[in-house]
Amino acid sequence: MKQRLAILGSTGSIGVQTLDIARENPGRFEVRVLTANRNWERLARQAREFDADAAVIADKQHYAQLRDALAGTDTKVYAGEEAVAQVAAGGGTDVVVNALVGYAGLAPTVAAIEAGKKLALANKESLVVGGACVMPLARERKAPVIPIDSEHSAIFQCLVGERAPVRRLIVTCSGGAFRDFRAEELANVTVEQALRHPQWDMGAKITIDSSTLVNKGFEVIEAHWLFGTPAERISVLLHPQSIIHSMVEFEDGAIKAQLGTPDMRLPISFALLYPDRANRPGERFNFLNHPQLTFAEVDRAKYPALDIAYDCLRRGGTAACTMNGANEVAVAAFLARKCAWLDIVRAIRYALEHAAFVPSPTLADYAEANAEARALAAEFLQLKN
Ligand SMILES: NC(=O)C1=CN([C@@H]2O[C@H](COP(=O)(O)OP(=O)(O)OC[C@H]3O[C@@H](n4cnc5c(N)ncnc54)[C@H](OP(=O)(O)O)[C@@H]3O)[C@@H](O)[C@H]2O)C=CC1
Ligand SMILES: CC(=O)[C@@H](O)[C@H](O)COP(=O)(O)O
Ligand SMILES: [Mn+2]
């Protein structure tokens, strides 16, 4: 039977590549629901191509444009962030792909899990912010959560069929755009430089997060919630080639790794088809083209975001939510050229120093902590509305 997909964030980097997988496998998937934030033109084209049941535009200002672009089709058109969560939970789909970026992904993640859907999760922020609520809920509702993030897909693939306890998760790290920069060069780096990821072609926000290593810090937190591994058993290893996507070490000393060229369509297709695998076209990995796989320690002084994330994970409560909210505001400000690259981590520190801390938060507490973190980061960066 075909799997019926809801793709949240279909106009973004992961969303577009998910549609590539659907196109490659017309016998296995039906695309039923698509969503975007503002890009109504791309959303309308996608909805027409896949004859979707519903298209949702989160930013209500673009509702009329989307409605007019889809006039004469059978696609129902909705608007608003609440509508994104509603279609995540709605009938007529089996799998929800959460390819939204940022805190906006949390409510749809919860909605999909509440409805017992299989969740193919790219939106790591859902777990960074609310993993303590999301994962117990997924277990209660028996809703499978399959990671799309490349490192977590790699770890998941290494763990398939394993019952023995894990000694260590080894999360690999490209080092981001400034891997080869000296610390004193970081004060004046530009948006264009930060967006030049050495290995992956991704959305702007995650590419900046990769340059600060906030992304790697978030991935440590994400790994903790997905696999139940404590912080002290999760390590980060610099691996500039991004060929080994991550590894698992077992108590007997064996280490399993998942390798491949950097292409998100593999983890996406894995998440959609697990426990099956896709028969993907294209060139196969050739070890002889990659004779040097190298490894090094991350420079923790140059990249303080990594230790900040470990601290947030150890503190628990709303700490990681605060880090995430401040980071979102600071990254948007950097991309809009309203602050310097170094200000991103400064804003995170400021928010963590000044925010209220809720030790056992509910989903409502996360919403408050997110709003407070955003306000604190804006205050620190002196941003005007
Ligand atoms: N790109 C990658 O290779 C990887 C991404 N990830 C994770 O996957 C997630 C998606 O990343 P990526 O695809 O790069 O992001 P993009 O910015 O490319 O795409 C984000 C998508 O979400 C939509 N969107 C943005 N903000 C909102 C909002 N407030 N409400 C509703 N929809 C919104 C966008 O719509 P619109 O187009 O209209 O703006 C777009 O469809 C992130 O959490 C990222 O960390 C993880 C590993 C790899
Ligand atoms: C493709 C993917 O999963 C990204 O999260 C990627 O891992 C970014 O790489 P670095 O954060 O290691 O630069
Ligand atoms: Mn990743």
Does residue 64 share a domain with residue 130?
yes
Structure tokens at 320: 């990681």
Structure tokens at 341: 């690259």
State pLDDT tens for residues 68-99: 999 999 999 999 999 999 999 999 999 999 99
- Assigned domain for 273 exists: no
CB 226 within 8 A of CB 153: no
Residue 66 CA to ligand 2 centre (angstroms): 32
Which uninterrupted H or E stretch holds 64? helix 63-69
Domain boundary among 123, 147, 171: 147
Distance CA 25, CA 242 (A): 27
- Assigned domain for 327 exists: no
Domain boundary among 109, 125, 147: 147
For residue 283, the model assigns a pLDDT of: 85
- Assigned domain for 20 exists: yes
Does residue 185 share a domain with residue 142?
no
Q: Is 125 annotated as a binding residue?
A: yes
| Cβ neighbour number for residue 39 with a 10 Å cutoff | 18
- Assigned domain for 225 exists: yes
Does residue 140 share a domain with residue 80?
yes
Does residue 237 share a domain with residue 101?
no
Q: What CA dihedral angle connects 297, 298, 302 and 307, to 10 degrees?
A: -120
CATH number of domain containing 94:
3.40.50.720
* Domain with 220 in it: 161-262+288-315
Q: Is the pLDDT score of 30 beyond 90?
A: yes
User: Tokens 């609520």 — which residue?
Assistant: 133
Question: At a CB cut-off of 8 Å and minimum separation 6, what does 349 contact?
Answer: 308
With cut-offs at 50, 70 and 90, classify the pLDDT of residue 385: low
Residue 150 CA to ligand 3 centre (angstroms): 5
With cut-offs at 50, 70 and 90, classify the pLDDT of residue 35: very high
- Assigned domain for 218 exists: yes
Does residue 62 share a domain with residue 198?
no
With cut-offs at 50, 70 and 90, classify the pLDDT of residue 6: very high
Does residue 182 share a domain with residue 110?
no
Ligand 2 in contact with 173 (CB < 6 A)?
yes
Which atom of ligand 1 has the smallest separation from the CA of 100? 22
ipTM for the assembly? 0.99
Q: Is 149 annotated as a binding residue?
A: yes
Ligand 2 in contact with 150 (CB < 6 A)?
yes
Average the pLDDT over 153-180 and give the result: 98
| Cβ neighbour number for residue 65 with a 10 Å cutoff | 15
Instruction: Give the mutation target among 16, 35, 206, 327 for probing the ligand 1 site: most ligand atoms within 8 A of CB.
Output: 206
State pLDDT tens for residues 305-327: 999 999 999 999 999 999 999 99
Ligand 2 in contact with 147 (CB < 6 A)?
no
Instruction: Give the mutation target among 211, 219, 298 for probing the ligand 2 site: most ligand atoms within 8 A of CB.
Output: 219
Kindly report the average pLDDT of the chain as a whole number. 97
Amino acid in position 113: I
Q: Is 14 annotated as a binding residue?
A: yes
With cut-offs at 50, 70 and 90, classify the pLDDT of residue 189: very high
Q: Is 11 annotated as a binding residue?
A: yes
Instruction: Give the mutation target among 13, 124, 151, 306 for probing the ligand 2 site: most ligand atoms within 8 A of CB.
Output: 151
- Assigned domain for 381 exists: no
Q: How far does CA 37 lie from the centroid of its chain? A: 16
> How many domains are contained in the chain?
2
Residue 258 CA to ligand 2 centre (angstroms): 14
Q: Is 39 annotated as a binding residue?
A: yes
- Assigned domain for 366 exists: no
Distance CA 53, CA 76 (A): 6
Does residue 182 share a domain with residue 89?
no
Does residue 136 share a domain with residue 241?
no
Q: Is 215 annotated as a binding residue?
A: yes
State pLDDT tens for residues 107-139: 999 999 999 999 999 999 999 999 999 999 999
Does residue 258 share a domain with residue 137?
no
Q: Is the pLDDT score of 384 beyond 80?
A: no
Does residue 251 share a domain with residue 213?
yes
Does residue 311 share a domain with residue 175?
yes
- Assigned domain for 323 exists: no
Does residue 179 share a domain with residue 52?
no
Ligand whose nearest atom lies closest to the CA of 176: 2
